[in-house]
Chains A and B, each alone.
Chain A
Amino acid sequence: DAKTTQPPSMDCAEGRAANLPCNHSTISGNEYVYWYRQIHSQGPQYIIHGLKNNETNEMASLIITEDRKSSTLILPHATLRDTAVYYCIVRPPTGNQFYFGTGTSLTVIP
Chain B
Amino acid sequence: EAGVAQSPRYKIIEKRQSVAFWCNPISGHATLYWYQQILGQGPKLLIQFQNNGVVDDSQLPKDRFSAERLKGVDSTLKIQPAKLEDSAVYLCASSLDFWDRGTKYGYTFGSGTRLTVV
Contact = CB atoms under 8 A, between A and B. Distances in A.
Answer yes or no: do A and B interact. Answer: yes
Interface of A: 32, 34, 41-46, 49, 51, 85, 87, 91, 95-103
Contacts of A95: 55-56, 98
User: Per DSSP, are chain B's interface residues mostly helix, strand or loop, or mixed?
Assistant: loop
B107 A98 contact: yes
14 contacts: A43-B93, A43-B110, A43-B111, A43-B112, A44-B107, A45-B109, A87-B42, A91-B106, A95-B56, A96-B48, A96-B98, A98-B45, A98-B107, A103-B42
Chain A binding surface, main DSSP class: loop
Contact of B109 (A32, A44, A102): A44
Contacts of A46: 104-108
Nearest to A91: B101
A98 B102 contact: no
